[in-house]
């Protein structure tokens, strides 16, 4: 929920299976905190094209990978909220 964006505990949101990044974009805008979008490479490519505003100011990083392959997971962020 976006109410969690006010949490001082969460310094970065890692949106697993984040799709086009709609939720992540809203969370970044509401919280002012950075986020990482993790999804399949073809999905991440589409999200990068549609989330230019967030990626230009480095609020959002993109990490292509596969949820079923732990070797492709983004590096851990502590503390971290997983959606």
pLDDT digit string (tens) for the chain, length 83 residues: 555 556 666 778 888 899 999 888 888 888 888 889 999 999 999 998 887 765 556 788 899 999 899 899 887 764 455 54
pTM for this one? 0.79
Rounded CA-CA distance 83/16 in Å is 6
Sheet with 81-82, strands from edge to edge, namely 60-64, 35-39, 13-16, 81-82
What's the half-sphere exposure (Cβ side, CA atoms, 13 Å) at 50? 15
Contact 51, 35 (CB under 8 A): no
What's the half-sphere exposure (Cβ side, CA atoms, 13 Å) at 30? 14
Contact 14, 82 (CB under 8 A): yes
């Amino acid at each position: 929920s976006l109410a969690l964006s006010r949490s001082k505990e969460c310094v970065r949101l890692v949106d697993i299976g984040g799709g086009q990044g709609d939720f992540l974009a809203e969370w970044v805008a509401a919280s002012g905190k950075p986020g990482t979008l993790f999804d399949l490479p073809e999905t991440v490519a589409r999200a990068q094209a549609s989330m230019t505003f967030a990626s230009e100011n480095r609020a959002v990083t993109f990490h292509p990978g596969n949820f079923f392959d732990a070797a492709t997971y983004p590096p851990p962020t502590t503390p971290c909220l997983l959606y």
